[in-house]
Amino acid sequence: MRAVRLHELGGPDALRIEELADPICDDDDVLVRLTFAALNRRDVFITRGMYPGIALPSTLGADGAGVRADTGENVVIDPMLHWGNDPHVWAEGAQVLGMPRDGTLADAIAIPKQNVYPMPAHLTADQAAALPLAGLTAYRALITRGRAMMGETVLVTGIGGGVQSFVMQFALALGATVIATSSSDAKLANARALGAQHTVNYRSNPDWYKDLRKLPAIDLAVDSAGGEAFSRAIDAVRPGGRVVTYGGTTATSNVRLFSVFWKHLDILGSSMGSPRDFTDMLAFVSRHQLRPVIDRIFPVTRIIDAFKHLEASEQCGKIVIDLSH
């Protein structure tokens, strides 16, 4: 089989497509013949050495969909390994698929049975491959941790990437009002086309955070970047509101604690999701007939180009890899 392997750090240019033997399944594993995979920023971080516990060589990739070899069933993979028994927090030793355990950027994968789920019937294989990690992270951040509800107003900072696109889709499906921010007018136009009721460009408008006060009162903010976006989100939410963070890609935040205690805010951390979150997320996607936002589909032979496209942060939605080409 073919697999996208990383033997040394050095960014996307260090990736290599290699021929390997089919993976060997342990007693608790099943073999899945993968047809599509998808990228996450985690994959780029690993190539740059910006992720904890890097162990090489490794086959990257957390997202995947394909056919279960023993049953012929179309399946999608939960990339969260060894979450543990506590639904509130992952256990020590929990991992994300795609390093150190070999991931989905390959023709086949041996994966624990409990991590394999039937593909939502309304999705194509490329759409299903775009769903797992970003959908799981978004669902837990917005619904499990953020407790978003119908009729609320949700601030989604830095719209454009896979997770925040799902946060927006899930919030709209719940019946919430969505305010989306971005530094890109094109991404904001795409957000409006998908249903966002209000958009704010924080690059072209230095007073963007003041404009938030003119919009409906914000019940919940979901942020992935940190830095100014996180601190402004804390200032923007209404008294008694909630702020969820699941990442810190830009900078350390300078938080004004007065806004936290004076407004009685809940500041909530979130990362990945439990098996229950994954099950509930698939059911939610099926119930609302949601389809992932896909930016581009690259053939696996152009895997380096796909990684560089993600690293440039110009995408609107997920970057999917066609493993058949």
What's the pLDDT tens digit per position in 71-123?
999 999 999 999 999 999 999 999 999 999 999 999 999 999 999 999 999 99
**pLDDT of res. 314:** 83
Q: Residue 93 burial (CB < 10 Å; 0-12/13-18/19+)? A: exposed
**pLDDT of res. 251:** 66
Q: How confident is the model at residue 228 (pLDDT cuts 50, 70, 90)?
A: confident
**pLDDT of res. 36:** 98
4 pLDDT more than 70 = yes
Q: Which two tokens stand for residue 223?
A: 């942020």
**pLDDT of res. 205:** 87
Percent above pLDDT 70 for the chain:
100
**pLDDT of res. 321:** 98
Distance CA 293, CA 315 (A): 10
Q: What are the structural domains, with CATH classification, of the chain? A: 2-131+292-322 (3.90.180.10), 136-269 (3.90.180.10)
Average pLDDT over the chain, rounded to whole? Answer: 95
On whether the pTM is more than 0.85, the answer is yes
Quote the crossing angle between the two packed helices 132-139 and 275-287, to the nearest 10°.
100
- In this prediction, residues 150-158 reach a mean pLDDT of 97
Tell me the torsion sign for CA atoms 292, 309, 9, 269: negative
**pLDDT of res. 127:** 98
Q: For residues 210 and 185, is the Cβ–Cβ distance under 8 A? A: no
CB atoms within 10 A of CB 120: 20
* C-alpha distances in Å from residue 129, one per residue of 44, 78, 109, 135, 320: 18, 10, 14, 10, 7
- In this prediction, residues 41-61 reach a mean pLDDT of 95
Q: What's the one-letter identity of residue 166? A: F
- Give the E-state strand segments of 141-283 in sequence order: 153-156, 177-182, 198-201, 218-223, 237-245, 266-269
161 pLDDT more than 90 = no
Q: How confident is the model at residue 173 (pLDDT cuts 50, 70, 90)?
A: very high
